[in-house]
Structure 1
Amino acid sequence: MNKIGAATLLLTLTAGLSACTQVTIPEATGDTWIRGLDVSEAREAEAAGVQFRDRDGTVKPALQIVRDHEYNWVRVRLMIDPDVKAYGLAQDLPYVKAVMRDAKKQNLKVLLDLHYSHWWADPGNQWTPERWKGQDLTTLSASVYDYTRDVITQLRDQDTPPDMVQIGNEINAGMLWETGRLKWESGQLTTGSMAALVRLTNAGATAVRDASGGRDRMPPIMVHIAKTGDAAATVAWYRAFIDAGGWVDVIGLSYYPSWHGDFSGLGETIRALRSNFTQTKVYVAETAYYWDKNQVGTTNLPYPETPQGQYDFLQALTPVVKDAGGSGIFYWGAFWSQSSRWLNAPGWKDDDASRRSLFDDDARATVGIDGLK
């Protein structure tokens, strides 16, 4: 792999990566509504002996079930040096390369979710992997570039390039802490530097471009945060990111009603984003709903915690996103079933994700699998 030095990278980024309102967005997504499932756990579960069953009880490969239910995209996360035997974090590069091959066989497009961490990346966890600890901003940006370029190159070399790339996961509090940490209060950045975060995310976006052979051949870059319940704060975040020179082709949001409020807030957020960033598509990159009661209890839920409630939630969610101008939805944790076979997580008291899977405890698809239309 041809690597780029830190000084050259700095020049590349300083040259000015255009913000989303100023560029021609790659059209890998087209105008087709995205019905997507996050399949990150499926291969690990199957390797541990889980046999996923369709609605009629027929055992099928996980990604065949995805295709048979007319989903057109999948999402898979990629970790850096994870403990592949613990906490559901099997998604190192060899694992993801295998998922990409499986997806291509089923003619599914793929959103590659780059966590840039060895651990779950979310607003409360954005930990720098051990291999990069202690690096200053310039060196860390170069590390992000080199790593990302190598990932995309390896995927292209096996003829499975991603169709969209997510630079970081739920990065409203930044990523690669402490260097890229942000803190927001009342819609205002109070701690950290958006410019520093942009140096890191732009390094990843530039690497995707370079590994893809140029701007016209690269997949769209998604920037994904979890502030859905507050339209003004969400717009303010992306405005600050873009004003700092951040590269974002499409916007990704997380939406879980227990954390992010009701449908009206989601619709308002999407409409506000589409109004402020008119050339930028907006996706719900993560959502999920309970088919069974969570063991510790969950509040602010608009539907019963039953298979039918899960289905009804997803049926109601789709028109909210469409009517607000959104372009698709990805369901998170779709294959998180029979986790006792494959999940080693002694620090977790509650396997919450298993109650939100699209498969029950017999690994049989719930009615919710047909909820997204």
Structure 2
Amino acid sequence: MNKIFVQLRQIFIVLITLTTFSCSNAQNPEGPKTTPAEPTVPTTFAFSKGADVGWLPQMEATGYKFYDTDGTKKDCLQLLKDRGINTIRLRVWVNPSNDKASGHCSPAETVVMAVRAQKLGMRIMIDFHYSDTWADPGKQTKPAAWANHSFTELLNDVYNHTYEVLNSLKAAGVTPEWVQVGNEIPDGMLWPEGKSANFGQLAQLLNKGYDATKAINPAIKVIVHLDQGNDNRRFRWFFDNAKANNVKYDVIGLSYYPYWLKSDYKATIADLANNLNDMVSRYNKEVMVVEVGGDYTLAQNTKDMLVAVINAVKNVPNNKGLGVIYWEPEGEKSWSGYQLNTWQSDGKPSPALDAFK
């Protein structure tokens, strides 16, 4: 009897469940409604091996051709991917000119390049300069459209520009994994209002970029970026002030160019490694070399330098060293005039790039 009772009880439960499901579907014949998922960024750790390729659209527009080592003409991004590159970094300017070397990189062009890179399976970093052209330690010129704005208006400018660019990317199906708020800013950005001598105002500007980024997707990691990544004193000064002024960020970005230090990388690589480790332990942040470069005429030396930098970042404890990005490897000298590319005069990639394999 007990077995029969249990069986009858199970049949009753099944009938009730089926009846409830049937009624639910009768009210909603198309089935349960679902909300489209937000674009997401990776949550598992994978070391980033990257290239900044802001010149690439201009190079292609002027007819420059890229070739593999066997002489086959190929897409530059594919050539980079074949050498282990998995990340593309793209600078964005507010209202740039059409100048070959110091123009382009508009929001619209950035979206096109990001979509193209993502289709090849690349991860994306967006580098906001908050200028119409190059921003770096020696120049942080406000966009012409913002030139006469008050500080309050500049805060809105930073938020709106950041949000609009990232929203355009999102609409195109791209959510960057990283967003850089400012480019090489040891002395601040949007001068004079955002100079680091007035760190309180700089902090507000940085936080507007952070807030706009997180409004698009809170999983995007925000980078604050300084040059001279081997200079621990420089980094401590800046990020101590950032902490005191409640700057919000996720990652400390570093540039490392031994060439500009007028020394071989072997003289400064230990300082870079020490600085990476100190930034993690002192501020509990992740670190990333977002710009690196070496002399294109010294391919083996540049390759050895890249191997050393990659190892230094990988050796940061607890996967807090996120990756290494080469600045404009494709910018071959005859086209760009830039000494620190990794491309040969025949349009083929330099063996130095094999460091990323």
Among the aligned pairs, what percent are the same residue?
29
2:213 to 190, 208, 217: 208
2:62 to 36, 45, 48: 48
Ranges of 4+ aligned residues in structure 1 off by more than 4 Å: none
Residue 238 in structure 1 maps to residue 233 in structure 2: no
**Structure 2 partner of 1:18:** none
Residue 327 in structure 1 maps to residue 322 in structure 2: yes
Within-5 A mapping of 1:188-337: 192-212=197-217, 215=218, 218-259=219-260, 262-278=268-284, 280-292=285-297, 306-325=298-317, 326-337=321-332
1:368 to 330, 347, 352: 352
Separation (CA, whole Å) in 2 of partners of 1:290 and 1:29: 35
**Structure 2 residue ranges without an equivalent (≥5):** 1-39, 262-266
Deviation by residue 1:305-331 (Cα, 9 ceiling, x = unmatched): x22222222122222222244221000
Q: State the structure with more CA Rg.
A: 2
**Structure 1 partner of 2:125:** 111
Separation (CA, whole Å) in 2 of partners of 1:153 and 1:134: 26
Does the CA contact (< 8 Å) of 1:45 and 1:339 recur in 2? no
Deviates more, 1:135-144 or 1:323-332: 323-332
Separation (CA, whole Å) in 1 of partners of 2:100 and 2:53: 17
Structure of greater relative contact order (alpha carbons < 8 Å, 6+ residues apart): 1
**Structure 2 partner of 1:145:** 159
Q: Shift of residue 133 of structure 1?
A: 0.7
How many residues of Structure 1 are paired with residues of Structure 2 in the alignment?
310
Q: Shift of residue 84 of structure 1?
A: 2.2
CA 1:339–1:120 in structure 2 vs 1: closer, same or farther (change >3 Å)?
farther
Q: Shift of residue 335 of structure 1?
A: 1.2
Letter of the 2:342 partner, please give it.
L
Does the CA contact (< 8 Å) of 1:54 and 1:364 recur in 2? yes
Q: Going by fraction, where is helix more abundant, 1 or 2?
A: 2
Q: Shift of residue 370 of structure 1?
A: 0.9
SS in 1 for 2:315: helix
Letter of the 1:211 partner, please give it.
I
Q: Shift of residue 131 of structure 1?
A: 0.3
Q: Shift of residue 232 of structure 1?
A: 3.0
**Structure 1 residue ranges without an equivalent (≥5):** 1-25, 183-191, 293-305, 344-350
Does the CA contact (< 8 Å) of 1:38 and 1:75 recur in 2? yes
Letter of the 1:333 partner, please give it.
E
Q: Shift of residue 57 of structure 1?
A: 2.4
Letter of the 1:197 partner, please give it.
L
Separation (CA, whole Å) in 2 of partners of 1:197 and 1:239: 14
Separation (CA, whole Å) in 1 of partners of 2:350 and 2:259: 21
Deviates more, 1:307-316 or 1:170-179: 307-316
Does the CA contact (< 8 Å) of 1:166 and 1:224 recur in 2? yes
Q: When the two structures are superposed, what TM-score results if normalisation uses the length of structure 2?
A: 0.82
Deviation by residue 1:268-327 (Cα, 9 ceiling, x = unmatched): 11111011122x2100010000122xxxxxxxxxxxxx2222222212222222224422
CA 1:324–1:232 in structure 2 vs 1: closer, same or farther (change >3 Å)?
farther
Q: Shift of residue 229 of structure 1?
A: 2.7
CA RMSD between the two structures: 1.8
